[in-house]
Amino acid sequence: MLGVMGFRPGGRAGLLRVVAVALLSLTTVARAEVPPGGIPLVSDPLRTFRTSTSRASSGVVGVPGPGFSEAIRVSVDQPGRAWDVELRATITRPVSAGSLGLLRFWARNVDAARSSQAAFTVYAQKASPNWDKAMQVDLAVGSTWQEFVLPWRWTTGYGASGAMIAFGLGRLPQTVEIGGLEILEYTGLALEDLPRTAFTYIGREPDAPWRAAANARIDQMRKAPLTVRVVDDRGNAVGDADVEIRMTRHAFPFGSALVASRLTGAGESHDVYRAHAERLFNAATLENDLKWPPWQGDWGAGFNRPQTLAALAWLKARGFSVRGHVLVWPGWDNLPETIKRHRNTPQAAVMIPTLVLQHIDEITRATAPYVDEWDVVNEPYDNHDLMDLSGWGAMIDWFVRAQANVPAAPRYLNDYGILSSHGADLAHQAYVHEILGWLVAEGAPISGFGMQSHMGASPTSIPRVLEVLDSFAAHGLTIRITEFDLNSDDERLQADYTRDFLTAVFSHPAVAGFQMWGFWEGAHWLPRGAMYRRDWSEKPNGTAYRDLVFDQWQTRGSGLTDRHGRFTARGFYGDYRLVVRRGSRAVEATFRLERGASGEVTVTLPGG
């Protein structure tokens, strides 16, 4: 699961390249009106915002802006992480918990030769560790001025100089201008009373060029010819028999992270949760229960092995494909106390690698009847403490040990920030490319790469999603979308993006599965990202998901057999139920349409 974002040192930048990507569009009108009564939080913003790093240069320049004549220009020369180059302003007056903030500014990319878009993250946050954020949004702009209006609620109060506004510009080699800055505080208003930028994304248009190509790939890759051959008791062909076929289950995994205590608990709310999970998905993982600390008992009685194993058994009994998450999350903050106690001891380099392998042995063997594949390593870009201790070779040991215990279970490296943030986190991408390439070259038994895909309110363009998928497919590994959600209160945007993102990834030849990171507001790490509200009413993104998976990507058909006793159709890979009738005779059967199989099923119509 995606960790809490903050200022984190270290990591490898890797090679950076210019992002070739369609530009983000925004549906805003010129100079949005803001309510009166806002108290400025930063005086003279153009000269208060500063950046101090050798990675970039900045200064105030004259510009022909929409309503302003000066802007801050930041030129990033050594890209890395977003916060490696920050344009920041400390708020010198106190802010009250529950009050509202409003940031309005204009931005543009002024060097298209370096990057076809400018991409950055905006924060309203605590001005010191742990950098708690009241607002965080990833944005992208083209060469024309675009206005952004971003409201938020201060969840914590801060004294003078205790909070700041920051622009994280460090991901790309880029030159950005920011002008028309206003930072205001409001009291006595509701958050919905404040204006806000309405985001959209390239690829949302009904006639977007990517759609026809994606649908053609889906038809070619996810479907195959199928033949129902009807014969009598003597093996003779039966013509003019009525055949009806109906798909009952996709072969492609459409899943969600689920909560073990809700899969095993008693009561109406748990019953409803289970019923929705079984109706909506054919694949799942347990959100937290298979992580090492709760498996070890560090998270208290609410997480325990009998409950975890019972939840896995419930899933397996209902035909779910089960992902295990995760064998090793190799940062100290995500390791159990039994490991952390050796952290700074002389025996750490000897004891810890052995304990890790013992854990892999124990958990994979205990769950072997239920778990079909594993995330072996999670988020190595930010969580590399065990690799710092033992070297990258430790990852090979983990993959080898997982393979030895459950040889039939595919093994994945899982990470965040690859498809999100407008696909602009090039340092993160380069680091993961390096690790994947190294693991493959060293012969590690790695099966695939998991892309988490947590999207913010301004989601990545669909052409960029497809471009990034192409780049990682070059490693020859299977790709799974492991933790999709879109954290926005714009439910129409959320629905359209769910539809388009799911279509894009289903159309990509390297992608072999899709998983959300929760589906119900009552059990979701980002409640706005859910498909179902707390009262179980369906949101538009839930409708969009069902329309694709259970309507557009379903196969139903009927017709008569020809004189050779054959009925032919083209269907999605998966499980089917069929009914054959001729006169008073009828027979039902099931079959599975699989990639690489003949696609033919023979049904004997008895009697007659």
Q: Counting Cβ atoms within 10 Å, is residue 559 exposed (0-12), middle (13-18) or buried (19+)? A: middle
pLDDT score, position 488: 93
Q: Residue 382 burial (CB < 10 Å; 0-12/13-18/19+)?
A: buried
C-beta contacts of 2-9 below 8 A and 24+ residues apart: 2/416, 2/452, 2/454, 2/483, 2/517, 3/331, 3/333, 3/334, 3/379, 3/382, 3/383, 3/416, 4/130, 5/133, 5/136, 6/129, 6/130, 6/131, 7/83, 7/129, 7/131, 8/81, 8/382
Query: Tens digit of pLDDT for each residue in 441-482?
Result: 999 999 999 999 999 999 999 999 999 999 999 999 999 999
d(CA 167, CA 152): 15
DSSP classification of residue 77:
S
> How does pLDDT run across 26-65, given as a tens digit for each residue?
434 346 789 999 999 999 999 999 998 999 999 999 999 9
Phi (first) and psi of residue 235, to 5 degrees: 85, 10
Domain 252-552 has CATH 3.10.450.50: no
Amino acid at the residue 460: T
How many angstroms separate the CA atoms of 364 and 376, rounded? 10
Model pLDDT for residues 392-438, shown as the tens digit of each residue:
999 999 999 999 999 999 999 999 999 999 999 999 999 999 999 99
Sequence-ordered list of residues with C-beta below 8 angstroms from that of 53, at least 6 positions apart, any chain = 84, 85, 86
Residue 39 half-sphere exposure toward CB, CA atoms < 13 A: 14
Map out the domains of the chain as residue ranges. Answer: 26-199, 222-248+554-604, 252-552
Q: Model-level pTM? A: 0.90
SS3 per residue for 486-519: ECCCCHHHHHHHHHHHHHHHHCCCCEEEEEECCC
Q: Of 476, 484, 467, 468, which is closest to residue 525 (Cα–Cα)?
A: 484
Token digits for 223?
């479907």
CATH of 222-248+554-604, one of 3.40.309.10, 3.30.465.10, 2.60.40.10, 3.40.50.1980: 2.60.40.10
Task: Enter the tokens of residue 290.
Answer: 């298979």
Q: What are phi and psi of 122, to 5 degrees?
A: -110, 135
Q: Could you tell me which residues are beta bridge partners of residue 604? A: 231
Residues 6+ apart with CB under 8 A from 442: 396
Instruction: Kindly give the pairing relationship between strand 321-328 and strand 283-286.
Output: parallel
Percentage of the chain exceeding pLDDT 90? 93
pLDDT at 608: 60
Superfamily of structural domain 26-199 = Galactose-binding domain-like (2.60.120.260)
Question: What pLDDT is attached to residue 392?
Answer: 97
Q: Which two tokens stand for residue 208?
A: 């977007």
**pLDDT-based confidence at residue 115 (cuts at 50, 70, 90):** confident
- Proportion of the chain above pLDDT 70, given as a percent: 95
Dihedral sign for Cα 348, 350, 351, 354, please: positive
Residue 486: phi and psi, rounded to 5, are -130, 110
